[in-house]
Structure 1
Amino acid sequence: MPRQVDHAGRRRLIAEAVCRLADERGLEGVTLRDVAARAQVSMGAVQRCFRTKEEMLVFALGYISERIMERVRARLVRSPAQSAGTALGHAATEISLLREEHRAEARVWLAFVAQAAVSEVLARTLQANYATLQEAFTRLIEEVGEGAGRAVPLDAQRDAQLDAQREARTLLALADGLTTHVLIGHLTSQEAHDVLHAHLSALWEQPVRPPRTTSNR
C-alpha cells in the first residue's frame, strides 16, 4: 500500500524552512533547491506542494502571519478584569515583535514586507492582515472612549468612528516602525516599549474625538 503523505504537514515544514532561510539571508536568498535541502525533502516534494516560488512565499507569509495573529488574538480575548486599553496595549506589543524571543520572527516579517513592495500577491496578503488588526484596534479604541465617559452624540458617531480608525492606523504604523528601529539598532527593545507605552498613554487621554462644529455664519 502506498505510504500516505501528510501534505498539510509538509507544506508547514517547507514554510518553516522558508522562514529560517529568510531570517539568515533575506528572501532574495531563498531558492526552491535551498528550501528543499533545509526542509530535508526532495525538490520534487517542494514542487508538488507549490507550483512556483511565489506560491511558496505566499503560503510562508500566511504561515508566519497566522503565528503572530494567534498571539494577538490571545491578547484580545479579555477577562472581566482586563480593560479594553490593556488588551490593546498587549496586542500592540505583540505585533511590534519587540521581545528578544521574537527577533528572528521580526527579521522574517520585515523581509516579507520589503518583498511585498514589489509583489502584488504578497501585498494583498499583508493588506488583509492589517485590515483585520485595524478593525480590532478601532473597536477597542472606541470601547476605551466609552468607558472613560466620552460617549459621542449620535449625529457625530460617523466622524468619531473615522477618528478611531485613524488612531488604529497610527498605532499599526507605529508598531511596524518600532520593529524596524529595534532591528537596525537605533532603539533598544526597552526604548521601543517606552515609546509605545507613551503613545498609548496619550491616546487614553482623548481616545475618540468628535469633530469640531463649524459655524454657518
Structure 2
Amino acid sequence: MPKKVDHEARRREISQALWRIASTRGLEGASLRDVAAEAGISLGRLQHYFRTKDEMLVFALRHIETLAQQRIRARIEALDGEPTPRDILRACLTGMLPLDEQSRIGFLVGVAHFHRAVHDPALRTDIRDGIPQLRGFFADQLRQATERGEVRPGRDADDEAMVLISLVDGLSTYILLDVHTPEKAVQLLDMQLDQLFDGPGRSDARTCE
C-alpha cells in the first residue's frame, strides 16, 4: 500500500521553514530553493505544494493568522466572568502586536506579503477583504460599549476601529525597529483605550494583562 501523505500537514511544515527564515534573515531575498533547503526537501517537492513564492506566503500568512486567532480566543475564554467589549478589543489588539516569537514571525511574514502586494494587485485581495472584516468586528464591540455607557455617544465606531488597527500596525513596526519596547507599546495601546472608553459606565479594571 502506498504511504498516505497528509498534504495539509506538509504545507504547514513548509510554512514553518518559511517562518524560520523570516525570523533569522528575512524573506525579501529568500527564494523557493532557500525554503526547500530549510524544509529539507527538494525544490520539485516544494513546488508540488506551492508553485510560486506568493502562493507560499499567502498560505503561511493565513496559517499564522489562524494560530493567532486561536491564541486570542483562548485568552478571552480565560477571562473571569463575561468579557466586556474593552476586554475583547484589548485581547485582540495585544494579540496582533509582536510581543513573543510566534507573533513576531507572523508580523514579519505579513511584512513580506505587504511588500509584494504593493506591486501586485492580485495579492491585495486578502487585505481588502480582511481589514474591513476586522474593522467591522471592532466597530461592533465599540457600538456595544456605547450602549453600555462605556464609550461616549457621538464617536464614529468604524473610524475609531480603524484608528485602533492603524495604531497596532504602527506600534508593531516600532517594536521590531526597537523604537519601543513591547511593554511601552502595550502602555500606549492602553492609553488609547483609556481615551476611547471614557464614558460614565466604563470599567477601569484591566483583566487581560
- Bin the TM-score by the shorter chain: 0.7 to 0.9
Which protein is richer in helix relative to its size? 1
Once the two structures are superposed, the pairs formed by residues 18-167 of structure 1 within 5 Å of their partners are 18-75=18-75, 80-99=81-100, 102-148=103-149, 163-167=156-160
**How far 1:139 sits from its partner (Å)?**
0.8
Aligned equivalents of 2:2, 2:151: Cα separation in 1: 66
Aligned equivalents of 1:91, 1:134: Cα separation in 2: 12
Aligned CA distance change for structure 1 residues 41 and 18 (closer, same or farther; 3 Å): same
Letter in 2 for 1:187: H
**How far 1:151 sits from its partner (Å)?**
8.9
Matched-pair contact (CA < 8 Å) for 1:138–1:164: yes
Aligned equivalents of 1:17, 1:150: Cα separation in 2: 44
Deviations, residues 167-210 of structure 1 (Å, cap 9, x unaligned)? 10110000010000111011111111111000001001159xxx
Deviations, residues 4-52 of structure 1 (Å, cap 9, x unaligned)? 2111111111111112212223222221111111111222211111222
Aligned equivalents of 1:79, 1:11: Cα separation in 2: 37
Of structures 1 and 2, the larger Rg is shown by 1
Question: C-alpha root-mean-square deviation of aligned residues, in Å?
Answer: 2.5
**How far 1:98 sits from its partner (Å)?**
2.9
% same residue: 36
Gaps of 5+ in 2: 201-209
Gaps of 5+ in 1: 153-159, 208-217
> TM-score, length-normalised on structure 2?
0.83
In structure 2, the residue corresponding to 1:28 is in which secondary structure?
A: coil
> TM-score, length-normalised on structure 1?
0.80
Matched-pair contact (CA < 8 Å) for 1:88–1:140: yes
Matched-pair contact (CA < 8 Å) for 1:17–1:35: yes
Matched-pair contact (CA < 8 Å) for 1:14–1:36: yes
Count of matched residue positions in the alignment of Structure 1 and Structure 2: 199
